[in-house]
Amino acid sequence: MKITIIGSGYVGLVTGTCIAERGNRVVCIDNNTGLINNLNKGIIPIYEPGLEPMILKNVKRGDLFFSTDLKKGLQETELVFIAVGTPMGEDGSADLTAVLKVAQQIGENMDHELIIVNKSTVPVGTADKVSEVVSKALASRDKNIPFDVVSNPEFLKEGAAIQDFMKPDRIVVGASNERSFAKMRQLYAPFLRNHNRLIEMDVRSAEMTKYAANAMLATKISFINEIANICELVGADVNKVRLGIGSDSRIGYDFIYPGSGYGGSCFPKDIKALRKMASDAGYEAQILTSVERVNDFQKTVIADKVIKRFGEDLNGYTFALWGLAFKPETDDMREAPSIYTVKKLLRHGAKIQAYDPKAGETARKFYFKGEKGVTYADTKYGVLEGADALILLTEWKEFNAPDFHYIIEKLKNPVIFDGRNQYSDFNLKELGIEYHQVGKKTI
């Protein structure tokens, strides 16, 4: 099949590359000339395990192309995916400016029957808006070209996006006619050889499914963090409580890890957008409001523990920090707990020596740009020298089982603040380490 992806950011790149991997001819379009030039040189703008070699392989064999020419990209294509950003607006709603601009351009340039696929995370009713914009653009050209608008939300986990796309848990397709469903079945058939996980529904239900899925996952995270905070106050151990409730198959263990809260490009934005969507429809989303409030509180839990331990005035104190990305296997720092933790400690006068396997450059160039109180090291042990304590905020594998004796040797004080409860099963007290975690009193 001939496929066009408009938007060559995270979702567009992963989608286009994985579709090309199955032998389809894919062209990824973007209006960012620098981005497209870099992609054509083999320079990949994001870190995602497995993505770079897959892009380079498919470009080499002639299945994947990058261009700024939307009109040419629409020629002869069968499906055109809209995969542009929907950033959060000032009122919390999803900003559809880029989506509707692309719809306008499609209507202005299409010359044959098309199926337009919304891959971007968009509010319920967006497909209708896209259809209206395309129809008006066609009418202005005095053209009557048939088209359909389909919803096909992405369910990609950063750090595991290739696996998620190539071996999906489910593929949700919302359409209004059999022709569109049939074309989407054809596209995804190679990904569903072992088990048919394609779920067909109406367009609005498909649009809602993405928001509902992210809201449920965010709710589980905030729920366990709420339990963790209660456990700490009453003398219980949330790590043991987690095992006790997770063994119930109705609950399960996924997404009930206590910690410093969720971040990233999806959960914070989508929770706000869903709340706004509900409000616009005349309903107050009370659970989602609480989920967001708990998460906002949780992002500074570790900073509060540091301040409680070392005092309000942290001038003269330096803290080693392991982990800047909002989760492992990505360089994405959007809404990461590290941002809130570092900024709060800096306000109290502290200095930070940070290390992250992938997100160090992101922090240096964007989130802590020009911040003299933050320095960086090339290794996890490189940040320990001269530090008063160690803070862990991202559960990268290389942090799982460190040399605690070396940590003790390098730190001024044998103190660890663990924002992901990575070391809750280690007997750190026996090693002489003062261990602060989430959801259990300090030992």
SS3 of the chain: the string is CEEEEECCCHHHHHHHHHHHHCCCEEEEECCCHHHHHHHHCCCCCCCCCCHHHHHHHHHHCCCEEEECCHHHHHCCCCEEEECCCCCECCCCCECCHHHHHHHHHHHHHCCCCEEEEECCCCCCCHHHHHHHHHHHHHHHCCCCCCEEEEECCCCCCCCCHHHHHHCCCCEEEECCCHHHHHHHHHHHHHHCCCCCCEEEECHHHHHHHHHHHHHHHHHHHHHHHHHHHHHHHHCCCHHHHHHHHHCCCCCCCCCCCCCCCCCCCCHHHHHHHHHHHHHHCCCCCHHHHHHHHHHHHHCCHHHHHHHHHHCCCCCCCEEEEECCCCCCCCCCCCCCHHHHHHHHHHHCCCEEEEECCCCHHHHHHHHCCCCCCEEECCCCHHHCCCCCEEEECCCCHHHCCCCHHHHHHHCCCCEEEECCCCCCCCCCCCCCCEEEECCECCC
* Catalytic (active site) residue 231: no
Q: Which residue has the tokens 């409860």?
A: 421
**Residue 18, exposed/middle/buried by CB under 10 A (0-12, 13-18, 19+)?**
buried
Q: Are 337 and 302 in contact (CB under 8 A)?
A: yes
Q: How many CB atoms lie within 10 A of CB 261?
A: 27
Strands 389-392, 114-118: pairing is unpaired
Q: Which residues are catalytic?
A: 266
